[in-house]
Structure 1
Amino acid sequence: MEQEQEFDMNEAAIETVPWRGSMAEAKTELAEDWQFLVGCEVDVRRGRCLLRTGAIDAATDDGNIVWLSRQGVHERRLLTRADGYDLWVTKLDNQRVLARRDDG
């Protein structure tokens, strides 16, 4: 059986769930342009693990850093591309993100 790795993202506040790429993959797409994700619900993944879901409430102009809003017991969280996180959005949200990028 494949063993999942633990990741350092404040383990007390984040539940690591193995991601197998079933229905979630069919409904979501990898977000390439983080700077346009403000207001979108995202799945935060690292490798094959789903770390958390939430809404993006701020992003840097270069799109390398985003803030995931507070949700329930989970505090607001800074995420960086350099730390190896991937953000996945629904296909509809990804179309909106691409439209924002093309209009800007």
Structure 2
Amino acid sequence: MKNQLHLQHDWGPVAGELVEIRHGGQAVRAGIVDGVTADGGILWLAAQGAEPRSMFERSQGFSVWIEYRWESAAAQ
């Protein structure tokens, strides 16, 4: 994730996307979203290398940041 990241308010559309999870403004983990609850309150990042599948809850203060595809395409 090299380009500018944007806060994603609606977690539903990020299923299958590469995102960065932040808590208190600090990056916690980056990865592919493996699943999102129907209400968009919880998401899971897929296991990657030594990192297990992980759950993040909006109510716990986590936020999702994503690179917009049209920005990364324009940079190429």
- Is the TM value for this pair above 0.5? yes
Cα distance in structure 1, aligned partners of 2:50 and 2:35: 19
CA displacement, residues 47-98 of structure 1 (integer Å, 9 cap, x when unaligned): 12111100101111110011110011000011110110011000228xxxxx
Q: Is 2:22 the partner of 1:55?
A: no
The one of 40, 52, 55 aligned to 1:75 = 52
Q: Which residue of 2 aligns with 1:40?
A: 17
Cα distance in structure 1, aligned partners of 2:12 and 2:43: 8
Unaligned runs of 5+ in 1: 1-23, 94-104
Unaligned runs of 5+ in 2: 71-76
Q: Is the strand fraction higher in 1 or 2? A: 2
Q: How many residues align?
A: 69
Which protein has the larger Cα radius of gyration, Structure 1 or Structure 2?
Answer: 1
* SS of 2:6 mapped into structure 1: strand
Q: Is the helix fraction higher in 1 or 2? A: 1
Cα distance in structure 1, aligned partners of 2:44 and 2:26: 19
Q: Where do 4+ consecutive residues of structure 1 move more than 6 Å?
A: none
TM-score, length basis structure 2: 0.83
Structure scoring higher RCO (CA < 8 A, sep ≥ 6) equals 2
